[in-house]
Structure 1
């Protein structure tokens, strides 16, 4: 039977819908503005004032110039290498650590866990970290952006909580049949943790895709720059000379504006396309361990 709502409840629901709709518009408009500006005519865009609800003088010249920049393609390849190799190693190392910490009969488990959690709040700092990379010969190398970041303490704790929620009877049954820890991890624990592993892929992938600080600090060869460092050069240092060659100073400034917007779209769309494929696992994975039976 449908319960009739009071006037106050209907007014409250209407207020929520209006308020949340405004929040959605405020969040989406900057994204829409960048997309619309990237497809606009550069000269008309500089003359436009007020809200930008659609491209001004439809044009894809900015995208043509972006993809003519050889550093964009090189940056994509470097980022994809770091992303694929990095996420793969991150999942392997985090799964091994989480499985170890999720077992009940582990010697000194609590002190080890406390030391791991300690690293979330305290570290040696950037200079000692850089010196370690230098001593290990990981500077000016893409491996320097992968190996030191293979385990996130926060993700490790989330994955450990998920592994602990797996019934111990399954683990004991496998041990009775003679299964070792690697077999238990690969054939029982991981297949039952697909949702949380999808969340780990998203967390690690977004972190790697957006990272630029250490890449700009330890990479000295421009051909090894990941995409985000190149994007930062274009946005912060206004480095669009290679894409506006042959244009006048006035045209260069106008075209440079649309090139910046197009570069943002080019660098953002790939990671946004991943979300729909992982969305169905995201809520389930993040809620693992939130409710104890």
Structure 2
């Protein structure tokens, strides 16, 4: 028997689809404009004729960006921060969440209270700067990694996931003579693959998009990460010598086109990672947020 949907159900679905399409358009339209501007000739860009399709298609902007040594130096610093920072984040998150997920740990409620306190009352900018300065981390890449080594929210998600694992597995492992480090490495972490990949994505994207820490702690031109490079290039219209010379020597280049091409090149790497861990990301985000 075919179920006949009521007018209210059809209207509700139509409204949902309309809202979702508008949301997708709000996200996609700026991105399409950036792509079309990066592939367009400078004259249409100056006249404001470019919308969602490139005019005067060319790849000159991307060619200049690929040859820009300053860009690739900032890119390399960002890759280092993402890889090392994410590894440190996961280490701190796991070794903090696993003990706190156990019921027999004395004082765990007090520790959890302190962690939650940092989520509600965050340290002001000036005390954080003083601490980083006192540790002699200014103008080093470690200033972009160590101050944010542990995210309280991500740790709580990991803790919730660890609590959902069957305690019988851990008890059986202890009976077999395994210590807690072996249990964590051989049982807890392999069973927590979805939440681990989710947290890795959270931390990696956070490091990739972080520019405020570099703006606050890094003054050395050679240590600028990619996002601070983009900030100086776009928000402050600060072209480095290589880009300025390329624009002056070519009539087929424009500052706006180079800015758009730089944004695309800086965004593509993180976009390429997501499809490979999408199913784990969704599963981990759902399971890690629900407590049994």
State the TM-score, normalizing by the size of structure 2. 0.94
- Distance change in 2, residues 1:135/1:290 (3 Å): closer
Flag structure 1 segments of 5+ consecutive residues without an equivalent: none
- Distance change in 2, residues 1:218/1:241 (3 Å): closer
Please identify, of 217-226 and 7-16, the stretch whose mean Cα deviation from structure 2 is larger: 7-16
User: Could you say what secondary structure the match of 1:244 adopts?
Assistant: helix
2-side partners of 1:131 and 1:4: how far apart?
Answer: 67
- Give yes or no for contact 2:158–2:288 (8 Å, CA) kept in 1: no
1-side partners of 2:143 and 2:240: how far apart?
Answer: 30
Shift of 1:156: 0.5
- Counterpart of 2:29 in structure 1 is 29
Please identify, of 80-89 and 219-228, the stretch whose mean Cα deviation from structure 2 is larger: 219-228
- Counterpart of 1:96 in structure 2 is 95
State the TM-score, normalizing by the size of structure 1. 0.93
- Counterpart of 1:232 in structure 2 is 231
- Counterpart of 2:156 in structure 1 is 157
- Counterpart of 1:66 in structure 2 is 65
Shift of 1:13: 2.0
1-side partners of 2:87 and 2:142: how far apart?
Answer: 13
1:2-59 alpha-carbon deviations (Å, 9 max, x no partner): 422123322332332233222211221111111111111111222234x712101101
- Give yes or no for contact 1:65–1:244 (8 Å, CA) kept in 2: no
Shift of 1:246: 6.2
Shift of 1:247: 4.7
- Counterpart of 2:18 in structure 1 is 18
2-side partners of 1:2 and 1:281: how far apart?
Answer: 36
- Counterpart of 1:202 in structure 2 is 201
- Distance change in 2, residues 1:179/1:14 (3 Å): same
- Give yes or no for contact 1:244–1:255 (8 Å, CA) kept in 2: no
Shift of 1:97: 0.2
- Counterpart of 2:85 in structure 1 is 86
- Distance change in 2, residues 1:291/1:3 (3 Å): farther
User: Could you say what secondary structure the match of 1:275 adopts?
Assistant: helix
- Counterpart of 1:171 in structure 2 is 170
| Structure 2 residue 158 is matched with structure 1 residue 191 | no
- Distance change in 2, residues 1:265/1:289 (3 Å): closer
1-side partners of 2:250 and 2:79: how far apart?
Answer: 36
- Distance change in 2, residues 1:292/1:79 (3 Å): closer
Please identify, of 97-106 and 233-242, the stretch whose mean Cα deviation from structure 2 is larger: 233-242
Shift of 1:266: 1.1
CA RMSD of aligned residues (A): 2.0
- Distance change in 2, residues 1:111/1:256 (3 Å): same
Shift of 1:248: 5.3
- Counterpart of 1:6 in structure 2 is 6
- Distance change in 2, residues 1:68/1:172 (3 Å): same
User: Could you say what secondary structure the match of 1:134 adopts?
Assistant: helix
**Aligned residues between the structures:** 291
Shift of 1:146: 1.1
1:203-250 alpha-carbon deviations (Å, 9 max, x no partner): 100110011111122222211111111110100111225213265599
User: Could you say what secondary structure the match of 1:200 adopts?
Assistant: helix
- Counterpart of 1:220 in structure 2 is 219
1-side partners of 2:11 and 2:144: how far apart?
Answer: 53
